[in-house]
Amino acid sequence: MKVSVKAPAKINLALDVLGKRPDGYHEVHMVMTTIDLADRIELMDLGEDRITLVTDYRFVPDDNRNFAYQAARLLKEKFHITRGVQITIDKCIPVAAGLAGGSSDAAATLRGLNKLWNLQLSTQELAELGSEIGSDVAFCVYGGTAIASGRGEKVEPISSPPPCWVVLAKPNIGVSTAEVYGKVQMETIQHANVREMVQAIEKQDYEGICEHLSNSLEAITMELHPEVEQIKEQMRRFGADGVLMSGSGPTVFALTKYESRMQRIYNGLRGFCDQVYAVRLLSESPLE
């Protein structure tokens, strides 16, 4: 038996950091949405009781450090599963990019194994399990568009923004999420307009969404990697309606309604960055 699952990337339309918690995590308030840039996960029954992982991408671990492996191990332990599984990850989402690639692989593995092993867990139950693996996994279990709070694990689905193009550009550097959060200074941080973003989405106000794109971590990553600001400038120059860094970066995304402008931004950035993608927002929620 074999199950194939899509693991889409996310972007942050708004990301605010509210404070540091006693457990060392930061309290966040964010709006996230899935995009049509996805890894593909294949889950296949193994004849023996173990987890194996195969990936085509050499910068991703193929052992118990992989979040998809951890998802399978968690389900096996919690539900005393004695069947083995081979996880194959066809990696398309750039790694250490602020697009939650690893978290989405874990979430897709939870959803897929729920089917393969007939566990009949609800989306909420899967999301709760996912948050034991990483802060963004719960959101990735739901997909669509949501407000996330706590350390990211409290997820409240909301309606999706109106359809548009998303052009993503990742400079040739990986960013450590821990390093960026480590540099947060609550006294000087610029707070993001999460409430305005949610209102703009509810009103399906595309211009309002572009206007309220904001990310409290952007200035920190930009100081470490000035390429982020340069990419934002290029995207604006090529006609983007709104531009923002996603998560802790370094990927920057541009929004536009028009295919011709998407092409212009895409072609313009290709001369500047190795990894450039043009995709649509994924509006349907929750994910199958």
Tokens standing for residue 184: 């947060």
136 assigned to active site: yes
Map tokens 């509006």 to a residue. 283
Which of residues 111, 131, 136, 265 is near ligand ATP by CB under 6 A?
Answer: 136
Residue 266 CA: distances (Å) to CA of 199, 228, 239, 278: 29, 16, 11, 7
Q: What single string gives the DSSP state of each residue in 91-139? A: --SPTTSSS-HHHHHHHHHHHHHHHHTT----HHHHHHHHTTT-TTHHH
Which residue number, 96 or 279, has a Cβ lying nearer to ligand ATP?
96
- Segment 4 to 33, residues that bind ligand ATP, using CB under 6 A: none
Which of residues 36, 42, 61, 275 is near ligand ATP by CB under 6 A?
Answer: 61
Which of residues 3, 28, 32, 68 is near ligand ATP by CB under 6 A?
Answer: 68
Question: Of residues 16, 105, 136, 241, which has the active-site annotation?
Answer: 136
Residue 248 CA: distances (Å) to CA of 24, 148, 166: 17, 15, 18
Q: Backbone dihedral region of 100: left (phi > 0), alpha (psi from -120 to 50 degrees) or beta? A: left
Which of residues 5, 72, 97, 255 is near ligand ATP by CB under 6 A?
Answer: 97
Which range, of 61-69, 121-129, 160-168, 263-271, touches ligand ATP by CB under 6 A? 61-69
Minimum Å distance from CB 278 to ligand ATP? 19
Q: How many helices (H) and strands (E) does the chain have?
A: 10, 11
Binding mask 207-246 for ligand ATP (x = CB under 6 A): ----------------------------------------
Which residue number, 180 or 241, has a Cβ lying nearer to ligand ATP?
180
Binding mask 244-273 for ligand ATP (x = CB under 6 A): ---xx-------------------------
Minimum Å distance from CB 97 to ligand ATP? 5
Which of residues 26, 38, 101, 144 is near ligand ATP by CB under 6 A?
Answer: 101
Q: How far is CA 277 from the centre of its chain?
A: 15
Contact 89, 105 (CB under 8 A): yes
Map tokens 């600001």 to a residue. 229
Q: Backbone dihedral region of 129: left (phi > 0), alpha (psi from -120 to 50 degrees) or beta? A: alpha
Residues that bind ligand ATP (CB under 6 A): 60-61, 65-68, 89, 95-103, 105, 136, 177, 247-248
- The residues annotated as belonging to the active site are 10, 136
